[in-house]
Amino acid sequence: MNADLGKTTFSPEEIDDLRERLKSHKDRLGLSWADLAKITGVTSGTLSAWVPGTYNKGEIHKNMDVPTRIHRFFQSVAEKAALEATMPSEPDFQMTVSASRMIKVLQLSHMGDMGLISSPPGVGKTAAVKQYAATRANVFVVTVSPATRGVPYVLLAVLAAMGEAGAKGTPQGLSSRVRARVRDAGALIIVDEAQHLSSQALEELRSIHDETECGIVLVGDETLITVLKKFPQLYSRLGIRHSQPRPTTEDISTLAEAWGVPRGAELSYLMEIGRRAGGLRTITKTLRLAVRGAMAGGAPMEVADLKDAFAQRFGEGG
């Protein structure tokens, strides 16, 4: 079966309208031609000539490829706006029991200690880290991935968090700059997804802490403790640790209350799915869809909405 490609031919008037719309879009958002190229799939050189009318030696109305792509771009923009208009507003950060415990680790480590936060996804680690970093000074958050687990990448990420994006130099030079920045500054470095760190990167962080007394917190999934125990010299320096296997019932109740979920069958269902993999993240994604579905139907959210949303989002029934 062939795909329906939609509109692929345009009159000169339609092409001129697309050019004007794209120019207005660019000016309104303050975008460069390179920015537009990324989001439209049309090269910046083509766009910078097509919009003013100099493309194809001025015969801009003969080429249908560019207007087709721009037409599809505006269709996507309109669809996204329509979808966002139906999305419910989500509650702000909630100080759950677990979040309070994690923030205590961050506070104590910020005083010059090393700390650990370890739990499966969906307990609220990243949300707690973001909240702490947003409300304190000299907190530098970096997120590690398997591709950025080594010493140079971690040091570059730390410097970028400190405002030095695009820093260059040898690992020794980068390390010296980080140490100079955090020494006697009351700083805290938080490394999220720390289970991916290489052994050399872990030792580098330990060395930075030892020399500068900068606070450092390693945040990661349930495997992080196992990883760190392989480094006794580092593990022994962890002055405060928080680890938990799943959200607490109080966490789920707090989140449900923030969403306006009444106590009863709806809360009981959230308790049930909150114990599964993904925890609070699963609950949030389910509530997002359930509230949207209820809004579309013009009725209060019920258990049926939650079950439908869970099945739609996670591919299984309640």
Q: Has residue 203 been placed in a domain?
A: yes
- Find the CATH number of the domain harbouring 108: 3.40.50.300
Query: Of 243, 272, 288, which residue is a domain's last?
Result: 243
Q: How far is CA 228 from CA 113, 150, 232, 242, in A?
A: 16, 16, 8, 14
Q: Has residue 1 been placed in a domain?
A: no
For residue 190, the model assigns a pLDDT of: 98
- φ and ψ of 141, to 5 deg: -105, 130
Q: Has residue 25 been placed in a domain?
A: yes
* 189 shares a domain with 69: no
Which position has the higher pLDDT, 302 or 179? 179
Q: Has residue 28 been placed in a domain?
A: yes
* 284 shares a domain with 165: no
Q: Is 108 exposed, middle or buried (0-12, 13-18, 19+ CB in 10 A)?
A: middle
Residue type at position 160: A
Query: Of 221, 243, 265, which residue is a domain's last?
Result: 243
Share of the chain above pLDDT 90, in %: 66
Average pLDDT over residues 135-164: 95
* 101 shares a domain with 48: no
Which position has the higher pLDDT, 59 or 182? 182
> What is the three-class DSSP state of 110?
helix
* 207 shares a domain with 78: no
Q: Is the dihedral of CA 309, 89, 161, 228 positive or negative?
A: negative
**Least confident window among 83-87, 117-121, 174-178, 251-255:** 83-87
* 164 shares a domain with 225: yes
* 213 shares a domain with 131: yes
Structural domains in the chain (count): 3
Q: Show the tokens assigned to 214.
A: 């900068």
* 264 shares a domain with 232: no
Q: Has residue 219 been placed in a domain?
A: yes
Average pLDDT over residues 99-120: 96
The residue range of the domain holding 273 is: 249-314
* 108 shares a domain with 46: no
Sequence-distant (6+) residues with CB within 8 A of 53 are 19, 60
Average pLDDT over residues 33-46: 93
46-77 pLDDT per residue, tens: 999 999 988 888 788 888 899 999 999 999 99
Q: Has residue 92 been placed in a domain?
A: no
Average pLDDT over residues 273-280: 85
Query: Of 199, 228, 243, which residue is a domain's last?
Result: 243
Share of the chain above pLDDT 70, in %: 95
For residue 2, the model assigns a pLDDT of: 57
**Least confident window among 66-80, 208-222, 281-295:** 281-295
**Least confident window among 78-82, 87-91, 107-111:** 87-91
* 256 shares a domain with 237: no
Measured distance CA(270)–CA(290) in Å, rounded:
12
* 34 shares a domain with 19: yes
* 76 shares a domain with 18: yes
Q: Has residue 138 been placed in a domain?
A: yes
* 253 shares a domain with 133: no
Compute the mean pLDDT over every residue in the chain, rounded to the nearest whole number. Answer: 90
- Evaluate if residue 318 carries a pLDDT over 70: no
